[in-house]
Chains A and B, each alone.
Chain A
Amino acid sequence: MIELKNVTKYFQTKKGKNYILKDVTFSIPSDINIGILGRNGAGKSTLMRMLGQIEFPNRGKITTDKSFSWPLGLSGGFVGNMTGKANVKFVCRLYGKKPQEIKKIIEFVKDFSELKNYFDMPIRTYSSGMKGRLSFGLSLAFDFDYMLIDETLSVGDARFKKKSKEALLKKIESCNILLVSHDMNTLEELCEAGIVVNNGEMVYFKKIADAIEEYNKINKKVK
């Protein structure tokens, strides 16, 4: 269970406060994969970051007994001068992994990301696709109750995309995901329920199809 209690979040702009959430009290049920929908700038990523506890509400509280991954985006927190391997090692240490576990994770990420010799090269020599593959492989190596995914499914070429989707499907057998995406097919495929973020409010839908319908309605209104 993830509970939001009187949560208000806004960003200060020159023309006043821009509300993402306005006094929202809400509980998100556990053990379910949830897609988060909303227009650009509606606050999907902010909501995600708040759940990952690296962004904080202006008022109110978010409580949960679940563990969350870092928000998986493209290549966050990598050091350009360090090798891919050294970067993976760093994240393992952050999570207090023991030397044998670190060894295993490094093997897994090297294998999954298909970086081969580049794995021992500084990250600054990587293409953006390679960085994406590394960070996706890395995120699969850890166990959380929830993975926070911010549109990272589209890394690499067609073959790698297919491979990562399969890996993710396997991964969500043992954990849940909160997925921000604009790709309705991906959402329908991976998520059962949906949350639509709009105008400072959150609306929960038991079926992802209903959430998508609502999202389409909102989009039509704007046009």
Chain B
Amino acid sequence: MVKRNAWRIQKSVIIALFFRELNMRFSSGRMGLFWTFFEPFFQILIFVLIKIALFGKNSSDFDFAVFLALNFTAFNLFKNIVLKSINAFKANKALFLYKQVKPIDTIIARVMVEIFITVIIIIIFLAIGLYFNFNIAIKDISMVTFGFLLLITFSFSLALFLSVLNIFMDSVSKLVGFSMTALMFGSAIFYTIDMLPLKVQTILLYNPLIHLMEMIHGFYFLTLDDTYVNYNYILLWTFSFLYIGLWFYIKLEKRIIST
């Protein structure tokens, strides 16, 4: 057998896992696939209707539907990366039979699948926006992209940290499931932070995710900005999770493989 170097081995493992994950998604019944792509539409529809019912049609100086589409896309990406990765070790246990498959590869592959699905959703949204004449103009496309990259890094770091924690404590994945709902309301998804009273602002700004969301929509809409975003705060959380997660992962890798 030809000897391959470590990077090439890991590359082929991640590619193999990526296609396997995609195949699993698409072969697990049509309804699963349907919801993957239509869940964001229903979320947006519901919140647009609530907003119209409460505040009437034109109460903000940006297109609210576009605002929701952007925020839910970003939030769902975060949510799915974390929720799907947290069970990756357990779900792929049988694959550790192949010695080149390292547990962290299964997380990387799942993150890549989520990114792939999100790209498709973004394309669908853009197509719909163009067709129905929504105002989808982007103020600063490179900063929005950078915001998404930061969000992905943050999500991956948190996901790795939680997956390692999940080895010791079974209830971690349940708790994370609950906290997602709280995070959805506390992360500036259907409002911007300057709409809120000062007291609530101070509390919510402890949530690193709200900084990421404010950054992404701050650079998307002409009428919004990133005044409230503390970039160091985002990086502090990201690298803390990444560092602790990796540290424990390296210590525990063998245990994850053989148990």
Query: Which residues of A are at the interface with B, using a C-beta cutoff of 8 A?
Result: 49, 52-56, 67-68, 70-71, 76-79, 81-83, 86, 89-91, 93-96, 122, 142-145
- Are A144 and B12 touching (Cβ within 8 A)? no
Of the candidates A77, A83, A89, the one whose C-beta lies within 8 Å of that of B97 is A77
Partner of A94 from the list B12, B23, B257 (CB cut-off 8 Å) is B12
A71 to B97, CA, bound (A): 7
**DSSP class of B's interface residues: helix, strand, loop or mixed?**
helix
Q: List 8 A-B contacts (CB under 8 A).
A: A56-B254, A56-B258, A76-B94, A77-B94, A79-B23, A91-B16, A93-B12, A93-B19
Q: How far is the CA of A81 from the CA of B97 in the complex (A)?
A: 19
B16 contacts across to A, CB distance below 8 A? 90-91, 93-94
Contact: B1 with A52, CB < 8 Å? Answer: no
Q: Which A residues are in CB contact (< 8 Å) with B99?
A: 52-54, 68, 70
CB distance from B47 to the nearest CB of A (A): 33
What is the CA–CA distance of A67 and B4 in the complex, to the nearest angstrom? 11
Instruction: Please pick, from B3, B24, B98, B254, the residue contacting A79 in the complex, using a CB distance under 8 A.
Output: B24
Judge whether B15 is part of the interface by a CB distance below 8 angstroms: yes
Contact status A86-B98, CB under 8 Å:
no
* Complex interface: chain B residues within 8 A of A83 (CB): 27
By a CB distance below 8 angstroms, the chain B residues around A49 are: 258
Name the B residues within 8 Å of A94 (CB-CB). 12-13, 16, 98, 100-101
Bitwise, B87-124 to A at CB < 8 A (1) or not (0) is: 00000001111111100000000000000000000000
B residues less than 8 Å from A142 (CB atoms): 1
Contact A95 B258, beta carbon cutoff 8 Å: no
Contact between A96 and B12, CB atoms less than 8 A apart: yes
Residues in B with CB closer than 8 Å to A86 are: 20, 23, 27
Q: Which residues of chain B in 142-166 are interfacial with respect to chain A, using CB atoms and an 8 Å cutoff?
A: none
Query: Contact check: which of B19, B95, B254 meets A77 at CB < 8 Å?
Result: B95
Q: Nearest A residue to B259 by beta-carbon distance? A: A55
Question: Could you tell me if B12 and A82 are in contact, using CB atoms closer than 8 angstroms?
Answer: no
Interface residues of B in 1-29 (CB under 8 A from A): 1, 3-4, 8-9, 11-13, 15-16, 19-20, 23-24, 27-28
Closest A residue to B255 by beta carbon equals: A56
Residues of B near A70 (CB, < 8 A) are 97-99
